[in-house]
């Protein structure tokens, strides 16, 4: 079913006015920050927002500061009209779509500095400037929207943990919520990057979920974590992946974990198939 098109809010003033009007009526507001190229996974974040709040704002901003010079900022898919259609169907109220000059006006000179889950030798090792860019733009979005809730996908698990820690440490009053990863029918985590996979790579890509799932099941049965993670890595290598990491970590701190008794465990993986880098994670 197609709902009415979300109101496009092109700048911070229009975002603040919309949120203030909802608040004046006693309505709660959820923010879903995105970089566009929306797929069913994003729609599930909007749906989670609608379960929590009367109003949902989706921000669409391809944030240049979280891309390294070698990464795909200019090539990142920009599909604004299709995104709006998806948001209309999902029942989203408004789409905040600022320009780069609104978010980073001339003279912009501030960056959020991170430790803790941002410095654990996972994504941060391969993308050393990435989380500073994410945290800076997300702290701006949270301040701009002043929403009750902000919803992030668990697919980017380290990002979720970094943002939760930042919001806690900086006393940002918005509650940061994670929503489960949406998967294709064969288990591949939905991602804007999946479109880059060639047909044979797309078939082999499911090995990532298979490897994580297998390791999680064995660890739950009491098998040795180190051994299971080595096997999981082998599954990826056999499928033709170049592995960046596949590791068991503490689910909150993301610190290394060797035994189940040390706390809740999350398995996280990043690996490349051809030119496409995939990430995924699951709870044990």
Residues 55-74 that bind ligand PAF (CB under 6 A): 63, 66
User: Which one of the spans 32-40, 164-172, 204-212, 242-250 is the region binding ligand PAF (CB under 6 A)?
Assistant: 32-40
Which of 57, 90, 120, 134 touches ligand PAF (CB under 6 A)? Answer: 134
Which of 6, 33, 98, 178 touches ligand PAF (CB under 6 A)? Answer: 33
For 229, phi then psi, to 5°, come to -70, -30
Let me know if 42 is a catalytic residue: yes
Q: For tokens 């803790």, what's the residue?
A: 116
The C-alpha atoms of residue 22 and residue 24 are separated, in whole angstroms, by: 5
Please pick, among 42, 125, 214, 227, the residue that the annotation labels catalytic: 42
Q: Does 164 bind ligand PAF (CB under 6 A)?
A: no
Which of 120, 138, 162, 267 touches ligand PAF (CB under 6 A)? Answer: 138
Element (DSSP H or E) covering residue 169 = helix 157-169
The 3-class SS string of 146-159 reads CCCEEEEECCCHHH
Residues 197-256 that bind ligand PAF (CB under 6 A): none
Confirm if 30 and 54 have CB atoms less than 8 A apart. no
Q: Does 160 bind ligand PAF (CB under 6 A)?
A: no
Closer to ligand PAF at the Cβ: 191 or 271?
Answer: 191
Which of 35, 189, 270, 279 touches ligand PAF (CB under 6 A)? Answer: 35
How many residues of this chain interact with ligand PAF, rule: CB under 6 A?
10
Q: Does 50 bind ligand PAF (CB under 6 A)?
A: no
Q: Does 137 bind ligand PAF (CB under 6 A)?
A: yes
User: Which one of the spans 7-15, 102-110, 134-142, 176-184 is the region binding ligand PAF (CB under 6 A)?
Assistant: 134-142
Closer to ligand PAF at the Cβ: 134 or 229?
Answer: 134
Q: Structure tokens of 56?
A: 């949902």
User: Residue 184, exposed/middle/buried by CB under 10 A (0-12, 13-18, 19+)?
Assistant: middle
How far lies 134's CA from each of 63, 127, 142, in Å?
A: 8, 11, 12
**Of 183, 229, 186, nearest to 207 (Cα)?**
186
Which residues are marked as active site?
42
């Amino acid at each position: 079913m197609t709902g009415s098109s979300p109101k496009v809010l092109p700048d911070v003033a229009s975002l603040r006015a919309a949120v203030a009007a909802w608040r004046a009526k006693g309505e709660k507001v959820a923010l879903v920050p995105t970089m566009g190229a929306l797929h069913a996974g994003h729609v599930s974040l909007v749906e989670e927002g609608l379960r929590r709040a009367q109003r949902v704002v989706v921000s669409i901003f391809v944030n240049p500061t979280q891309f390294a010079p070698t990464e795909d900022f200019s090539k990142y898919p920009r599909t604004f009209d299709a995104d709006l259609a998806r948001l209309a169907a999902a029942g989203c109220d408004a789409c905040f779509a600022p320009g780069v000059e609104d978010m980073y006006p001339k003279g912009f000179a501030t960056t959020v500095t991170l430790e803790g889950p941002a410095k654990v030798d996972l994504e941060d090792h391969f993308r050393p400037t990435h989380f500073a860019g994410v945290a800076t733009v997300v702290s701006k979005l949270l301040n701009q929207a002043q929403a009750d809730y902000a919803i992030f996908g668990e697919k980017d698990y380290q990002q979720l943990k970094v943002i939760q820690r930042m919001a806690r440490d900086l006393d940002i009053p918005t509650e940061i919520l994670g929503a489960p990863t949406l998967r294709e029918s064969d288990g591949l985590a939905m991602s804007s990057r999946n479109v880059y996979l060639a047909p044979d790579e797309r078939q082999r890509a499911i090995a990532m979920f298979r490897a994580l799932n297998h390791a999680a099941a064995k660890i739950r049965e009491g098998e040795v974590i180190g051994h299971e993670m080595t096997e999981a890595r082998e599954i990826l290598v056999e499928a033709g992946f170049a592995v960046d990491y596949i590791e068991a970590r503490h689910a909150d701190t993301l610190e290394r974990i060797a035994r189940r008794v040390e706390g809740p465990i999350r398995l996280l993986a990043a690996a490349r198939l051809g030119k496409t880098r995939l990430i995924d994670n699951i709870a044990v």
